C-alpha cells in the first residue's frame, strides 16, 4: 500500500461509527466515529502524560502519543465490533488476532510498518506504563462522551451500564494513575447532577 | 429474551450501517441501514417469487418471505462486518458461525426460536430454491442501491468494483432465475447511462 | 412501469420520513423512514403470526407477510400524510382512495399488479384476521419506536399523546390477538420506567 | 391557538422536507426544508421587488414580503405533497382547498387571521403583480437549489426534468418580470457548465 | 457580484450552523442553520408587527420585514461567531465592523446595495421601533428553538443559561412591545413544565 | 477551568464544522469536523515524521505530535473562521491574536498551560522543522479530504480552487520535506482521474 492509499484508508475512520453508542440508542446521525474518538484519546493522553510528569512520574511521551494515534487504525479495515459481538467471535484473543492481521494488511509494504505494529501490540498487551496510560485515556474518553449523550437526553439503561462498566475497567489503573481518579470523580458529579 | 426485548433489539437494525457503502466513500449520514436493506430484500423476494410462479416455477413463498425478513437479524448483535474484514476473521465459515451464535443468543427462550434458526441456516446454505431466491434478491437490492449512490454523484472505484463483484456473485442463479437476469440488464443500462 | 423502475421507486421509501415523528419534535435527521417501518411491521407480523399459530389460531402466513411488505408502497408516490393533515383531506375515505390511485399507478403494467392491489385493499379494509394482524403489527411498531424516541430524551406532549392514541387504536384487536396485549403490557412498563 | 402555539407550529417547518428533492434522489439528510425554502423566497422577493422598482415598476413591497413569508405556513400541518401525489389528490383545486383548510385551522382564533388567509389566497390565485413576483421567487429558489444539488453530484433524470419544468412554469412571468429572465439566463450558464 | 452569485451565496446560509446551539451540546446534525433562523425571525416580525398595529402602535412594516430578512446576510461570508468567541474578537464593536465589511463585499456592485446596508445598520443600532421589533423577534426565535431542544431531551446547563440570558436581553423592549412579554410568559410556562 | 471542563470543552471540537467545506457546497451533514481533522493531522504528522527520520532528517517527534494534537484547540471557543471571513477580521495577525486569547482562556489555571500555549505559538510561527511538518500535514489532510468530497460527486469551483490554493501553500515546504511532494503527486493523479 502506498502512503496515499494509507491516508485514504485512515480517512475512512471518519466514517466508522463507534458501535457501542448505537447499542445505547444513540441515533446513527449522532454517533461518535473512530476518528473523533482517536482525537479524544490522543488529547487526553497528552494531558495526562504531562500531569503525571508534573507529579514526578517518568514516561516516554512520544511513544504514548504515537500509540494513542495508532491504537484504532485496524478499524479502518474491520470496523468497530459491537461489544455484544465479542462473546460470539470465538476463543479469547480472537478480536486481537483479527485486528492484528488487519493492521498488518493496511500497513503492508510501508517502510515503517514494524514500528506501528509494535506500538499496537504494546497497546493491546497493557503492560507498559505508556500502554496503561492510553487505555486510561480511552476509558476517560468514553466517560466524557457518555456524559455528553446523557446531557442530550439519552436515558437508556445500556448507557448507564456502560458508564458503570467503564468505571470497573478503569479501576485497575487507580494506583499508577492517580490523576485519572480525580478526573473520574469530577465526571461522576456531573453525571449524577443530570435529571 | 422476552418478545418486547427482541423487538427492541431488532429496532437496532435501523441504526446498523451497511458498512460496504462506507468503504465506497458514501457519507455516514447517507448510509443504508440493515432495516432498510431488509425491507428491500423482502420486497424484491415477493416480486421475484410471484414472477417465478407466473412462469410456472413452484416455490414456498411463505418460507422465502420469512427467510428474507430473518436473514440479517444476527446483525442486531454483531453488526455488519465490512467486507474488508472477512479475510481477517479466520478460517472459512467463521463469519457464519459467529452469526449463528449471535442469532441463537438473540432468540434465546423464544418459543419459536428453532424455526427462525432453521430459516437462517437454510438461507446461509444457499441450497433450496427459496434460499437462492433470497440471495438473488439480496444482490439485486445492492445493485439498486449502488445505482442510487452513483446517481447521487459517487464515483469511487470501490463502488464500481462492488457493482462488478455483485454481477459475478449473482451469475450462478442465472439458469434457475431467468427474470433476475432481465432485471440486471435493465439496471446495467441505467448505470452506464450515468456520466 | 418496468420492474427495475418499480424497484427504484420502492427504494424511495428509504427517503420518505414517517411524518408523525416530526410532529412529535423528533429531528429530521433522526426520523424513521417508511422502509425501516415496513421492516418492523414485517418482522412483527412474522413473530406474531407464529405466536398465534402456537396458540392454535389458523391464519395464512404468506398472505399476512405479503400484506405487511406491501402495505405502504403507495407512499413511494404520495408520501406519508402527517396525521394533522387527515382532517383536511376531505370526506372520510379520501386518504384511502388517494393511496389506491397512487398504488395503481406505481404498479401499472406489472403482470402481478392485481395481486398487490388486492393485498393492499384487504389491508385497508381491516376485516380478515391477516389484515388485523398486520394492523396490530403496525401499531406495535409505533410503540417500540416511540419508546426508543422517549429513551433518546424526547418529552413532547405529542409523543405522549401518540403513545396513548395507539393504545386506543389497538384495543379492538384485544380479543382476537391476545399475545399483542401481553406485549403492550411489557412495553408500558418500559415506557413508564423512563424519567 | 395561542401565539406561542403558532410559533411552535411554524417551527415545525424546519423539519418538513421539500419532498420534490427526495424524488430527485437527494438524501434525506441533505434535503432542503420548508423553513429554509421560505427564507430563500423572502430574500429573492425582496431583491426582485427592489430591482423592479428601480426599473420603474410599482408594487406593494410590504404585501409581497408578507406573502412570501406566509406562503407555505399550511405545510406545518399538511406537509409538502410530493409532486407525484398531485394527480392522485382528486379534482383540480383539491390541493388548494386542503391547504386553505389547514391554514384556517393553524390560524384559528388569531386576531389577525383574516389578513394571513387573504395573503395566502392572493398568492394562490396568482393574479396580482405581488403574487406573481412571489411565484417567480419561488421558482427561482428552486433553480438555485437544483443547481446546488447538481454541483454536489446529483445526476438524476428527475433533477434534470425538474430543472426544465421550472423553466416552463416561470415563462409566463417573462414579460412582466424582465429581471427574472436575466437571472435565469445566468443560472442556465452555471448549470450547463457542470460536467 | 452578479445577482445569481448573491443568490448562491445566500443559499450558503442553509449550511451555516447557529453555533450557540452547538455550545449547548446540540448535535451538529440537529443544529438550526441561519436560513431557518431567518425564516423564524421574519415570521415573528410579521406577527408582532400586526399585533402592535392592532394595539394602535404605528410602524413601517415593510422596513421591519426587510430588516428581518437581511439581518444575518453577512454570515454567508463570516459565519455565526460562537458567543464564546465574542470577548476574544477585540474592542467593543469589532463584530459589528467585521460583519459590515463582509456585507459590503457580498453586496458589491448590486444596484440597491445602499438600501440593504442601511437596513443592516439600522438593525445593529437598535434605535428605531422597527429595529427593536426585529431584535425582539430574534430573541423570541431563540426561546422557541431552545424550548424545542429542551423538549428533545437537552439538559445542558448552557441551554439553561442561554434561556435566562435571552430573558435579560429582551427585557429592555418590555415597555415598547407589550405583546412580547405576554408571549414570553407563555413560553416560560411551557419550558418549566418539562421535566 | 478544571481538567474535566477542558475535556468537555475539547469534546465540542467534534461538533465544530470545518467551514471551508461548507463554502465548497459540501452538505452540513457531511462536513468534516475539527476533531476528525485533528486526528488526520496527528496521524499524518506521525507518518511523515517517521518517513523523514528514515531519510536521515532529525526532529523532535514528541513536540511535533503534541503540536498536531493542540493546533486547533482554540476553535473549541472561537470556531473555525470561514476563509471568506479572514479579510474582514482586521489587520494581519488578528486571527492569530483572537485564537491566542481564546486558547489562554480555555487553558486558564491548568498547571501545564504554558506548555500548550508555547506549542500553539510555535505552530503558528511556522519556523521550526516541527511546526513546518505539522503545517504540511494540515495541508495534506485537506487534500485527502478534498479528494474524498470530489469522489462523492462534488464539482464546485470552490473545491477546485481550494485544491489549487493548497498546492501553492504547501510549495514552500518542498525542499525540506521531500516525501510530502511525492505524496502530493500521488494525490494529484487520483484527483485528475476522477471524471
pLDDT 10s digits, B160-195: 999 999 999 999 998 899 889 999 999 999 999 998
- Strand-pairing partners, residue A17, are A33
Q: F155 CB contacts (<8 Å, ≥6 apart)?
A: D151, D152, D153, D194, D195
| C-alpha span between D9 and E43 (Å, rounded) | 12
Contacts of F154 in chain B (CB under 8 A): 153
- Test A30 with E25 for CB contact under 8 angstroms: no
Mutate to test the interface with E, among C31, C153, C158, C194 (most CBs of E within 10 A): C153
Q: Residue E77, Cα to own-chain centre: how many angstroms?
A: 16
Average pLDDT for A134-148: 98
**Residue of chain E with shortest Cα separation from C157:** E151
| Band (E107; pLDDT cuts 50, 70, 90) | very high
Burial category of B125 from C-beta neighbours within 10 Å (exposed 0-12, middle 13-18, buried 19 and up): exposed
Given 3-state DSSP classes, what are the helix, strand and coil percentages for chain F, each rounded to the nearest 5? 75, 0, 25
- Test A51 with F111 for CB contact under 8 angstroms: yes
Going by the DSSP 8-state scheme, the letter that residue B175 receives in this structure is: T
- Test E85 with F105 for CB contact under 8 angstroms: no
Q: How many other β-carbons are positioned within 10 Å of the β-carbon of residue D75?
A: 26
- Test D16 with C27 for CB contact under 8 angstroms: no
Percentage above 90 pLDDT, chain B? 93
Do A150 and A101 contact (CB within 8 A), yes or no?
A: no
**Collapsing DSSP states into helix, strand and coil, what is residue F55?**
coil
**Residue of chain D with shortest Cα separation from F21:** D152
Q: Which residues of A4-19 are buried (b: 16+ CB within 10 A; e: fewer)?
A: bebbbbbbbbbbbbbb
Candidates E28, E94, E102; nearest CB to F17: E28
Candidates B15, B19, B85; nearest CB to A28: B15
Mutate to test the interface with C, among B1, B3, B182 (most CBs of C within 10 A): B3
| C-alpha span between C33 and C76 (Å, rounded) | 11
Look at residues F158, F192, F126 and name the one whose alpha carbon lies nearest to residue F26: F158
| C-alpha span between F68 and F42 (Å, rounded) | 5
Q: Within an 8 Å CB–CB cutoff, is residue C61 touching chain B?
A: yes
- Test E85 with F77 for CB contact under 8 angstroms: yes
Please, what is the average pLDDT of chain B? 96
Candidates E30, E194, E195; nearest CB to C27: E30
| C-alpha span between B92 and A165 (Å, rounded) | 34
Q: Within an 8 Å CB–CB cutoff, is residue B29 touching chain D?
A: yes
Candidates B14, B145, B187; nearest CB to C4: B187
Nearest-CA distance C151 → chain A (Å) = 5
| C-alpha span between A128 and D51 (Å, rounded) | 72
Average pLDDT for C94-101: 96
- Test F154 with D154 for CB contact under 8 angstroms: no
CA angle D28, D32, D33 (to 5 degrees): 100
Each residue of A35-88: pLDDT tens digit?
Answer: 999 999 999 999 999 999 999 999 999 999 999 999 999 999 999 999 999 999
Average pLDDT for B40-68: 96
- Strand-pairing partners, residue F33, are F17
Q: What is the pLDDT of residue E2?
A: 87
- Test B88 with A79 for CB contact under 8 angstroms: no
Do A9 and A76 contact (CB within 8 A), yes or no?
A: yes
Percentage above 70 pLDDT, chain E? 99
| Band (F1; pLDDT cuts 50, 70, 90) | low
Angle between helices F61-70 and F113-125 (to 10 degrees): 90
Nearest-CA distance A119 → chain B (Å) = 20
Q: Within an 8 Å CB–CB cutoff, is residue E15 touching chain F?
A: yes
- Test F66 with A46 for CB contact under 8 angstroms: yes
Q: What is the pLDDT of residue F50?
A: 95
Q: Within an 8 Å CB–CB cutoff, is residue F175 touching chain E?
A: no
Q: What is the pLDDT of residue B195?
A: 84
ipTM topping 0.90: yes
Each residue of F19-76: pLDDT tens digit?
Answer: 999 999 999 999 999 999 999 999 999 999 999 999 999 999 999 999 999 999 999 9
Nearest-CA distance E157 → chain A (Å) = 9
Average pLDDT for E173-193: 93
| C-alpha span between A137 and F7 (Å, rounded) | 11
Q: How many other β-carbons are positioned within 10 Å of the β-carbon of residue E168?
A: 9
- Test D153 with B148 for CB contact under 8 angstroms: no
Contacts of B37 in chain A (CB under 8 A): none
Candidates F29, F30, F153; nearest CB to B155: F153
| C-alpha span between F49 and F128 (Å, rounded) | 13
First-to-last CA distance in chain E? 50
Contacts of C147 in chain B (CB under 8 A): 8
- Test B152 with D195 for CB contact under 8 angstroms: no
- Test A82 with B81 for CB contact under 8 angstroms: no
Mutate to test the interface with B, among D21, D22, D29, D151 (most CBs of B within 10 A): D29
Residue A1 has pLDDT above 80, yes or no: no
Residue C1 has pLDDT above 80, yes or no: no
Nearest-CA distance C152 → chain E (Å) = 7
Nearest-CA distance A194 → chain E (Å) = 7
Please name the residues between 141 and 170 in chain A that touch chain C, using a CB distance below 8 Å. 152-156
Q: What is the pLDDT of residue F193?
A: 95
Candidates B29, B79, B85; nearest CB to A82: B79
Average pLDDT for E78-106: 95
Count chain D–chain F contacts defined by CB atoms under 8 A: 26
- Please report, for residues C55, E124, E140, the alpha-carbon distance to residue E170 in angstroms, rounded to integers and kept in the order given: 64, 15, 8
Q: What is the pLDDT of residue D195?
A: 84
Please, what is the average pLDDT of chain C? 96
**Residue of chain F with shortest Cα separation from B160:** F151
Nearest-CA distance E105 → chain A (Å) = 35
Q: Within an 8 Å CB–CB cutoff, is residue D50 touching chain B?
A: no
Do D99 and C86 contact (CB within 8 A), yes or no?
A: no
Give the number of residues written for chain C: 195
Q: What is the pLDDT of residue A195?
A: 83
**Residue of chain D with shortest Cα separation from C103:** D88
The ranges of chain D with pLDDT < 50 are none
| Band (C109; pLDDT cuts 50, 70, 90) | confident
Q: What is the pLDDT of residue D38?
A: 98
Q: Within an 8 Å CB–CB cutoff, is residue C130 touching chain B?
A: no
Q: What is the pLDDT of residue D92?
A: 87
Contacts of A3 in chain F (CB under 8 A): 47, 51, 179, 182-183, 186
Q: What is the pLDDT of residue B1?
A: 66
Mutate to test the interface with D, among E21, E46, E120, E130 (most CBs of D within 10 A): E46
Nearest-CA distance F155 → chain D (Å) = 5
Q: Within an 8 Å CB–CB cutoff, is residue A14 touching chain E?
A: no
Q: What is the pLDDT of residue F195?
A: 84
**Collapsing DSSP states into helix, strand and coil, what is residue E123?**
helix
- Test A17 with B23 for CB contact under 8 angstroms: no
Candidates D8, D10, D62; nearest CB to E61: D62
Do A150 and E156 contact (CB within 8 A), yes or no?
A: no
Count chain A–chain B contacts defined by CB atoms under 8 A: 85
Nearest-CA distance F30 → chain B (Å) = 6
Q: What is the pLDDT of residue C195?
A: 84
- Test C154 with E154 for CB contact under 8 angstroms: no
**Residue of chain E with shortest Cα separation from D32:** E14
Amino acid at each position: 500500500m502506498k502512503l496515499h492509499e494509507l491516508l485514504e484508508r485512515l480517512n475512512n475512520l471518519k466514517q466508522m461509527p463507534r458501535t457501542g453508542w448505537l447499542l445505547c440508542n444513540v441515533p446513527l446521525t449522532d454517533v461518535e466515529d473512530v476518528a473523533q474518538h482517536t482525537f479524544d484519546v490522543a488529547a487526553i493522553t497528552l494531558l495526562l502524560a504531562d500531569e503525571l510528569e508534573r507529579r514526578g512520574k517518568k514516561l516516554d511521551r512520544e511513544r504514548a502519543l504515537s500509540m494513542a494515534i495508532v491504537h484504532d487504525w485496524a478499524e479502518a479495515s474491520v470496523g468497530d465490533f459491537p461489544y455484544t459481538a465479542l462473546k460470539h467471535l470465538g476463543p479469547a484473543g480472537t478480536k486481537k488476532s483479527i485486528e492484528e492481521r488487519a493492521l498488518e494488511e493496511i500497513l503492508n509494504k510501508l517502510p515503517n510498518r514494524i514500528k506501528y505494529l509494535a506500538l499496537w501490540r504494546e497497546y493491546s498487551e497493557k503492560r507498559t506504563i505508556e500502554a496503561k496510560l492510553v487505555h486510561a485515556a480511552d476509558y476517560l474518553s468514553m466517560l466524557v462522551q457518555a456524559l455528553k449523550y446523557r446531557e442530550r437526553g439519552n436515558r437508556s439503561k445500556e448507557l448507564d451500564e456502560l458508564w458503570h462498566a467503564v468505571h470497573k475497567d478503569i479501576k485497575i489503573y487507580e494506583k499508577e494513575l492517580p490523576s485519572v481518579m480525580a478526573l473520574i470523580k469530577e465526571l461522576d458529579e456531573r453525571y449524577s447532577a443530570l435529571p
